[in-house]
Structure 1
Amino acid sequence: MEHVQSYYAASVNPHAPWPQLNDSIQCDVCIIGGGFTGLSSALYLTEAGFDVVVLEAARVGFGASGRNGGQVVNSYSRDVDVIEQRYGKESAQLLGSMMFEGAAVIRDRIDRYAIACDYRPGGIFAALNGRQLHHLQAQRKRWQQYGNHQLEMLDRSGMMREIASERYVGGLLDHSGGHLHPLNLALGEAEAIRRHGGRIYEKSEVTSVQYGSPHQVTTATGNVSAKYLIFAGNAYLAPHLEPRLSRKSIPCGSQIITTEPLSADKALALLPNNRCVEDCNYLLDYYRLTADNRLLYGGGVIYGAREPGDIKELIRPKLLKTFPQLAGVKFDYAWSGNFLLTLSRMPQIGRLENGVYYMQGDSGHGVTFTHLAGKLILEALKGNPARYDAFAKLPHLPFPGGRRLGVPLTAIGAAWYALRDRLGV
C-alpha cells in the first residue's frame, strides 16, 4: 500500500525507501508500526544504543501520522482538571507535568536533525460562544500553573487580527503550539533512526506474534526475534494481532481538504500571522495555511472509520461558514485518516506480557503525545518506569459492547454534545 493521495503525499520531501523484511533477524526491540509512536520510540531507543527494528505494513507515516491536520497541540484530549476529577490530584500533577513535553520534543527533533517540515509557531483555540471562552480562560490558568507561560487571551477584536472570520467571540493563543507538514516530520525522524543504526522495514505486515523469550514476530516473508516488543499501530493495528488492545478502543475517521494555492496576499488575509486554529466544539473544525499558501481545513468525526462518499462536499460548508470570502475556491486534495479513540479519551499505554508494551489511543492529540511516548518507553526500558506507569495505571476500559456496539453508542453521545455546541450550552 502506498500513501493516500493527499496534499502531504504530493508535497513530500525526496527520500529513499526502506526495504521489505525478507529474512529472519534478531534485535533488542521490535516495534510494530511505522507512525509517530513507533518512530519516536525507535529514535529515542536507537539514540540510547538499543538495536531496534520497526515493522510497517505499508509505508512510513501511512496512517494518521502522515494524514493529520499537522497541528502541534499541547496537553491531552482531556485536560488536567478532568484528570484530577477522575484519577486524583497525584495523577493530575504527574500527568500535568508532562503536558507540554511532546511539543518540546518535536521542536528539538526538528532542530537536531534539520528536518524540513515547514514548522510554524503558534496555535489558537477559538471560542464560538461565551461558555467556550470562559472554559479557555480557566484552561489558561491551569496551564500556567503547570509551567506554560506562553499563553495569550484574545478578545473578539484580537481574534479578528488573527483570523479573517466573524465567527469567534475570543480565543486562546498558545505560542508554544504550532503547525507543520506531518509526513515530512515522520520521514525525517525515520531517516534519523537509520543514521543511528535502526532498521525499518516497509511493506512488512505482521501476521502473527508469539510471546516468549525471545518474542517472535512473523511477517509474510520474514521473522524477528526480540527481547522487547512494542505495539504501536494505533488505529491501523490489525485487531486479530492483539484482541486485548482492539477491545479497548475504536477507530474514527477525520476528513481534510486543501484548496488550490492562493495568492500570498489572499492567504495571509485569512490568517495574517500564520497560526493554526481549532475551535472549541466537541466535533471541532481545524485549519491552517500550508507552506505554498493553500488553506488546509478539516472537521468532524466518523465513528468506526467509515469512508464518506464525498469529502469535499462534507467539508465545503464548514469551510465556507468560517471563510465565506472563499466561495468558489477550488479544492485540489481531499482525504480521510483514522485516529484511535478510547472510552476515557486518555492515551492508553501499558504492558501485556513480560517485555511486551503498547502505546495507543491518543484520541485526537497524537502528534504531541506520540513524541512524549517515545521518551517514556526509553525511560521504562532503562529501568525508570515511573512516568510510563503514570499512564499505565489509568483504567483502560473497553467500550461497552466492544467495537460493534461501541461505534453507534459513541456516535449517539457525540450527537448530544454537538447539539449542545449548536445551542451554546
Structure 2
Amino acid sequence: MPTPHLTAPSDVRMRGFSQRAEVASALAWIDANTPLLSSETVAVEEASGRVLSQDVIAPIAVPEFDRAAMDGYALHGKETMGAGEYNPLEFPLVGEAWPGRPFEGDVLSGTAIRIMTGAPVPCGCDAVVPAEYASEHEGRLTITRAVAPGQHVGHVGEDIARGSTALHASRRLRPQDVGLVASLGIASLEVVRRPRVRLLVTGNEVRPPGSPKGPYEIYDANSMTLRGLVARDGGVLESHQRLGDDAGTIEQALQAPGADVVLVSGGSSVGAEDHAPRVLAKVGELAIHGVAMRPSSPAGMGRIAGALVFLLPGNPVSCLCAYDFFAGRAVRTMGGRPGDWPYRTQRATVARKIVSQVGRVDYVRVRLGADGVEPLALSGASMLSTTTRADGFVIAPSESEGYGPGSEVSVYLYEWP
C-alpha cells in the first residue's frame, strides 16, 4: 500500500492549525508504515498470549498409542454381544494396565484385563467396558453391557495426526493452545516479537504520583493510563522518562535507539512550550500534526530512524483517545495482533441526542441506562473521570451530525475481557 501523501506544518506554535488531517488518512498512514516485527524464540511456558510467527507442525501423533478412554476392562468387543442385566457375561481376568505401565503380552480371546484411563490398550483388545457396568469376583469379570469394537478407546492420532498443522501462524495463543503444544513435546515456539515502547512525558508542571508537588503542578496520570494500554496491546515498556519542556532533552530522547514505538505525552499542541512536533520534524519525519477529531485534535505522528512516533495530547481523555485511535493500532499490528480495537461492542438505542459536527470524528463517552445510551460528556478533554464513570464510548463519524433519540449505535465497552 503506498504511503498517503500528507503534509504537516513543522511549527504551529502560537499560530494554530491551518488544516487538520482526516482520521481515515491518519489510519491509512499507520497501516502503510507499520511493519510486522521479526520473530523470537520463547519457552512454551511463556507463550500464552503471544502470536505465532510460524505454523506448529505435529512431530508426533496424539495419542501415540491406542489408550483407554475411561476406567474399566479391556477385552474383545465382539465377545460382549448380548451382555445385559438379565444376561451377564463372564471373562477370566488375566492382568491389568496402568498409564505408563502397560500389560505385557497379548490378551487372548475370551479373557479381559483391568485398565485405567490413559493406559495403553494391549494387543488383542479393541474395546473397554466401563467399570460401572462390570464387577469382579475371585479373578473373574462379570459385565452387564455390550461394547462395540473401538468403543471407549482413543486411537492413534485421533486428537492430532503426526505431520499435521496443529496451529497456524498469526494465531494469538490461548492457554489451551499452549497446552496442545506441550502435548506434542514441543519446548519452545517462534512468536512475533513484542513491540518495545518508549514513553516520554513532557511538561515542567508534571510530577510523579507520590512525590511532593507545588500548588500549580499536576500529577502524571497519562503515564499510568498509557502503561496499561501498552500492556493490553502486547507491547513491552522500553523506558519511561519524564523530560520536562526542554527541546534538547526531548530531541535526545526521541533519537535514542532501542524502541519500535515512541509515545510522547503532552507538548503536541500549539503552545509556546509544545516542542515535540517541531523537534520530530527536525530529526525525523512529522507526517501528520492535527487531526479532525474531538478530542485529540492536536495529535500527531511520524517516524524517526526505525521507530514510529506518536504525539499524544496532554489532556488525559485526549491522550487516551489518541492512543486508542492511532498508537495502539500500530502497537497491535507490529506484534501480530489485529489492528482494530480490542473492545467488546454492544448495540444499543440512543436515549438522549449525541451531538457531533460534520467534518470531524467525535469520541463520545456514554453510559448505558434503562432507557438506552446517554452521552456523559461532549467536552472536557481534561476530565479523566468521565472515562471512569462511562460504560464505554460511541464514535460519531465525520459525515454525521450525531445520533438522535431512537437511533441504533455501537457502544465500545471500556470493560476488559
Q: Identify the TM-score tier after normalising by the shorter chain.
A: under 0.3
Structure possessing the higher radius of gyration over alpha carbons: 2
TM-score (norm 2): 0.21
